Amino acid sequence: MKNVIATDKAPAAIGPYSQAIEVNNMVYTSGVIPVDPATGNIPEGSVAQARQAFTNLSNLLEAAGTSTANVIKTTVFIKEMNDFAAINEVYAEFFPAPYPARSCVEVARLPKNVMLEIEAIATK
């Protein structure tokens, strides 16, 4: 059985998808972007955007009854590979060791022209 996870502490879905789905004590998030859910604003700069996106993801995982400590896999989409090191530093603040498996890819464009998007798979 699928449980839909939704919270107003992360950006609402902007299409026909759920913020996250739980199945068999596993949580699968959709891509989370750095939109402040309270204001709809997008911070300036890759570090501020990374911090907002990872905060949104953390809030979504909390709504699902888990946390970043239980994330087993992430995929990070970034607009500019030159931002990799700066984003990596913020990433390390949110994901404790042992770190989840991760893919990071540069993409041409992201929703709302943000600089990064992250999705995760976590256990409960």
Cα 88 from Cα 111, distance rounded (Å): 21
Cα 73 from Cα 60, distance rounded (Å): 15
Residue with the two structure tokens 């896999």: 73
Minimal CA–CA distance to 29: which of 48, 6, 55? 6
Contact yes or no for 96/67 (Cβ under 8 A): no
Minimal CA–CA distance to 112: which of 40, 58, 56, 7? 40
Residue from 21, 47, 48, 104 carrying the catalytic annotation: 104
Contact yes or no for 10/57 (Cβ under 8 A): yes
Residue 40 bears catalytic tag: no
Catalytic residue set: 104
